[in-house]
Chains A and B, each alone.
Chain A
Amino acid sequence: MGLKQYINDIVEAVVTTAKGMRITARYGVDAGEEVTQQYPEERREPSERFRGFLHNDVARCTSCQMCIKVCPVDCISLEAVRGADKKFVLASYVINIGRCMYCGLCVEVCPTKSLTHTSGYEKASVNRGELVLHFIHEDAAEIKARVARQVAEAAAKAAEAAKAAEAVKAAANPAAPDVAPAAANKPAPAEPQAKAAPEPEKKG
């Protein structure tokens, strides 16, 4: 190592140090903007396609159970009964958000777009029960009983109407065959459908 190299080393050390110090001094005196976000006070808006907690808009849900079938971790479960107008009525819709892995398959598959990802991501809780989201707050048994009652009423009404029609028909043409509204008479599937169980019958 020659003397020239030696002096060059010293000069380089001093110059590079000074350079670095100037940069940090500039930031130290005036940082411009802080990159820190003080989380509980300031929150960043999640991006548009952020997959947060699931939310089911139960009014639009048709109880088709596609979400249940597609869920890889089986975190969704629902109970539904067939109502008087032949449409399913949700008795309960439960998502275990602690088990959810936010894959988004259920949202993609939902035909009525009732199931959506919200932007929520804060769900720290002291017990796991709080992580189970119930979207129908009424008691499932009550709903079932009410639907059964409605179905029975509708059936009775239909039977009455049929009887009246029959009477009218009989009056007009006593030999006419009996054309009862079979669908209304059919009993609704009142038994609870288990989570992820295949639907016992197709609609319609």
Chain B
Amino acid sequence: MESFALSLVKAVPALSGVPMWTVTLTAMVLTAAILLVFALTFGGLGSYVLRKVAGDIQVRIGPNRVGPYGLLQFLADGAKLILKEDIIPAKADRFLFILAPYLVFVGSFAAFVVLPFGVGLIASDLNIGVYYVMAVTSLVVVGILMAGWASNNKWALLGGMRAAAQIISYEIPVGMAIMPAVLIAGSLSLQDIVRSQGGLLGVFGWNLFHNPFTFFSFILYFTAAQAETNQTPFDLPEAESELVSGYNVEYSGIRYAFFFLAEFGDMFVVAALATACFLGGWHVPFFHAEALPAVWGNLLSLGAFLFKAFALVLVMMWVRWTLPRLRVDQLMRMSWKYLVPLTFVNLLGVSLWLLLFKGKGIPQMIASLVG
């Protein structure tokens, strides 16, 4: 961010009189605001698309009343949530009850910081990017557990406990499934991971097609990440058929909206991380976005990144309206008996592959054979 501020000062001479820290701070706040607006818009439009996809799959129409094709439905919903009474149960733990939704939202929103939206479009290119995402999204579990506990409601508590067990269980396969990308790039920085997938091989430069193990890694990551973010086939924490609404059952109004937005934020983070680690991030196939002038390169790469991420989000919605919810024991069995061993085997496979073939993927080998 400081380097960005420096370049800003260089580009606009009028800013040189202003103290450096103010410029940096302003840049930080602006970046955060842009990301926040993006996250909120994604949450809103995501909910619309989610309901439309549900309608299509279930041979219904979906929202179509507010605005053209119901496009403004999310604004109406948002206004409703803001205007609704904010109820705090009498016997709730007030402090924790109030704090929990913000913690959950921060946990999912903080991950946006390291998402590589484009060639230079990244709020902060941390050299421990992947690790940071894993760490900061774990904050969500604290918030959810807090919400479940503070509500003083048996359903909320059960939901919170389930969420804690589930998120902690699935943290391991998620981390292990994403490691192959880190191994190939030799860096935890998401920007480095994306750069390692470039080249003129186009689609085949992506980690997805690097070798068979990375392909399975992607699928394993996608499955485990859905479970980690409580997406529907694994949404036991809010299983409405048994727990009413789970950990957020006592929440209403704006506080509920935070849980809601956190859910969609998580959705995007999962899709974006999968895109960055396996689908070539912002790389446009057969095209060198970095070589373009900064503005066009950034715009093009942003478009490519969002396109891939949104496609994955659509797949998540598709999964959501297809698969029925698992039972708690099935969920745990899936994590510990299937996903964890498989991701370990996968990681081992990728490591051996990189060792044996000196870091070359199958497409690269074919390319070198051809000439």
Contact = CB atoms under 8 A, between A and B. Distances in A.
Interface of A: 9-10, 13, 17, 20-21, 23-25, 27-29, 31-36, 38
Interface residues of B, number: 15
Interface in B46-69: 53, 56-61, 64
Given A9-B338, A10-B338, A24 B321 contact: yes
B287 interface: no
A10 B199 CA distance: 35
Given A13-B338, A17-B323, 20 more contacts: A10-B342, A20-B322, A20-B323, A21-B319, A23-B322, A24-B318, A27-B59, A28-B318, A28-B321, A29-B56, A32-B59, A34-B59, A34-B60, A34-B61, A35-B59, A35-B60, A36-B60, A36-B61, A38-B61, A38-B64
A74 B338 CA distance: 69
Interface in B230-282: none
Contacts of A17: 322-323
Interface of B: 53, 56-61, 64, 318-319, 321-323, 338, 342
B318 A25 contact: yes
27 contacts: A10-B338, A10-B342, A13-B338, A17-B323, A20-B322, A20-B323, A21-B318, A21-B319, A23-B322, A24-B57, A24-B318, A24-B321, A24-B322, A25-B318, A27-B56, A27-B58, A27-B59, A28-B56, A28-B318, A31-B56, A31-B59, A33-B59, A34-B61, A35-B59, A35-B60, A36-B60, A36-B61
Contacts of B53: 28
**Top-10 shortest CB links A-B:** A24-B322, A28-B57, A36-B61, A28-B56, A31-B59, A24-B57, A20-B322, A36-B60, A35-B59, A21-B322
A21 B219 CA distance: 15
B17 to A, nearest CB: 57
Contacts of A31: 56, 59
A118 B342 CA distance: 67
A33 B58 CA distance: 11
Nearest to A38: B61
A36 B54 CA distance: 13
Contacts of B342: 10
A19 B338 CA distance: 20
A200 B321 CA distance: 69
**B57, B64, B318, B321: most-surrounded residue (chain A CB, <10 A):** B57
